[in-house]
Structure 1
């Protein structure tokens, strides 16, 4: 079976593949952390935060598919396996058990801040190597920044 090739090669392909893989890991784990918080949330602001966590999960899942498909399109293999995500994630994991609503807002705000900074760095590293991938990462950064603002406003 022939390997999939794409429009990039050499260092450009490696740079973009690394940026896309990092974005994929961030997005997969963000969806998992948001869902974990969603299931275990308690407190007087349950309803609004519960719904916002669903929105965040949907956003992460939509973007992770787009990012993974772009990796394939450039001839790289996306790796979304649980062991890979567990080994590579930079996201702080929530505590087990019930999660108080104020603590969830603070935790998610911090996580989104970190994801945003990493996405903005990926925007810079893909600028010359592949503007198409950069555009996709810009879209992720835009949505992550919006979610960061929304969670920050709840705190």
Structure 2
């Protein structure tokens, strides 16, 4: 980051350059979690079929928790002296992933696709935690706290995709649509 783009201030014990680096890492997480909360709400509105109410009601607390994570990350970015960017256009322009691909679909298809979403979110959040470990303990702690909840939510999703023998129906999936199809086929095989 060019010296003219560095924050005018940051938290004590960090240099403006390190504060800007941490804020940049957090901005990526802000975009990802904003996308996740919208995706979760989209799933909440579009699940159908058996287990509708269970999945419909399981998703809303996840939306609320992710919204709280978004707020905490945005406030940490601001604390570091950088302006957090939460606009839809900035999110779409910055994200390296495709938009969520399912519309109205069965609960098992959405859960299969959501498994892939959570794999991406958790993996990138772990990478961000690792990247901040030696830079800023507070930010690292924030990300690790989020990981606890994100991994718990991922487990909730995977519990619907797991066979009695411990096999995940989405194990070999290569994307949301493939995971949705794998979950649907596994559910049909079990029926």
TM-score by length of 2: 0.75
Whole-angstrom distance in 2 between the partners of 1:93 and 1:40 = 15
- How far 1:98 sits from its partner (Å)? 1.3
Secondary structure at the aligned position of 1:75 is classed as coil
Shift of residue 11, structure 1, vs aligned partner: 3.4
CA distance in 2, matches of 1:45, 1:135: 36
**Deviation of the 1:64 alpha carbon:** 0.3
1:84 to 79, 85, 90: 90
| Residue 54 (structure 2) aligns with | 48
Which of 15, 29, 40 is matched with 1:34 structurally? Answer: 40
Consecutive unaligned residues in structure 2, runs of 5 or more:
1-6, 162-191
CA deviations 1:41-79 (Å, max 9, x no partner) are: 101010111111112111110100000000000101111
2:9 paired with 1:5: yes
d(CA) in 1 for partners of 2:36 and 2:123?
14
Match of 1:15 among 10, 17, 21: 21
Instruction: Quote the Cα distance in structure 1 between the aligned partners of 2:17 and 2:9.
Output: 14
Is the 1:30–1:60 contact (alpha carbons within 8 Å) kept by the matching residues of 2? yes
Name the residue aligned to 1:135.
Answer: 141
Match of 1:147 among 134, 153, 158: 153
User: Going by fraction, where is helix more abundant, 1 or 2?
Assistant: 1
C-alpha deviation, 1:4, in angstroms: 6.3
Q: Corresponding residue for 2:164?
A: none
Q: Secondary structure at the match of 1:23?
A: helix
Residues 90/105 of structure 1: CA separation in 2 closer, same or farther (3 Å cut): farther
Greater radius of gyration (CA):
2
Deviations 1:5-42 (A, max 9, x none): 22132431132111110111111000000001111110
- CA gap of 1:115–1:90, structure 2 versus 1, over 3 A, is farther
Relative contact order, CA 8 A, sep 6+: which one is greater?
Answer: 1
Consecutive unaligned residues of structure 1, counting only runs of 5 or more, are: none
For residues 92-144 of structure 1, the C-alpha deviation after alignment (integer angstroms, 9 at most, x for no partner) is 43336412111110111110111000000011100111110111111111111
